[in-house]
Structure 1
């Protein structure tokens, strides 16, 4: 079973203090720039956790280490896959993400092979859909993403000069 081919698009850490995590990644690992989106709300009409509607708010920060996208997520309110991670494992690597050519086919392949969908949803108004799969032996989740051309353009704008995103 191959759910997604190609390079890993994103590595994500869930953290308790996003500003401290940004400083650490900048000082220790050279992430020069962060794009931070505070208080992103996901409501029950657009998101689910363990198969039931979810309602939560997070702060997100995106940066690049060379051509590798890094994401930091700080849960702010509500119960989410991110707050569950903090409660059970503390801060740390939460998921790896791919942008499959065919999001629907990749998700169907995962389900057909018994892979549990932990959470899924849409970032309404920006053209992004996501599904988190149980990572099994990986110990962290796997995210599949569907990105509109506008979202891809935004990610292309954020990437440092001399690098490209997987779809370029």
Structure 2
């Protein structure tokens, strides 16, 4: 897809089994940091057209302006982060675009043959995952970039540019 359609890809995400171990691994292997871990992120929406609630821990780090997202699914129910067998879909999960209008981007994705897999929101943001039958096992995410989300992204990005290797992990518990 060209950047003219959705803009530049801003995020690459992986589903992991153990978020803290994965963050430590990424730090050790790639040197990325600092990381921000959001515990107990909850979202409610639709998965394959049925109601779904997901709860997860998420960590964000940066390579240049690319956001690296690591996701540990905490639920036992249907989730875009688990297969039909209930097991986590460990590995690369999606690429993401920041969106000023998620619904318009979803419509553009549908015009290009994509299908909505998951749409959800919480008090902070809205997201949509689309799948393309021509690219199985990879989801395309649109992330609502409202003022609060943009401010958080810019603060984390700035911290990554000046990181001196100290204080590699900030944990924010959303108490879900």
**Does the TM-score normalized on the shorter chain lie above 0.5?**
yes
Aligned length: 157
The answer to whether the 8 A contact 1:14-1:85 is kept is: no
1:48 equivalent among 28, 46, 65? 46
Equivalent runs, 1:32-111 vs 2, <5 Å = 32-42=33-43, 46-77=44-75, 78-84=77-83, 87=86, 90-111=89-110
Report how far residue 104 of structure 1 moved: 2.3
> Does residue 12 of structure 1 match 2:9?
no
Report how far residue 99 of structure 1 moved: 1.6
Report how far residue 120 of structure 1 moved: 0.6
**CA root-mean-square deviation:** 2.3
Change beyond 3 A, Cα 1:150–1:4: same
> Does residue 121 of structure 1 match 2:120?
yes
Report how far residue 49 of structure 1 moved: 0.5
Counterpart for residue 129 of structure 2: 132
Which runs of 5 or more structure 2 residues have no equivalent in the other structure?
Answer: 163-176
Which runs of 5 or more structure 1 residues have no equivalent in the other structure?
Answer: 163-168
Report how far residue 19 of structure 1 moved: 1.1
Counterpart for residue 161 of structure 1: 161
Where relative contact order (Cα < 8 A, 6+ residues apart) is larger, the structure is 2
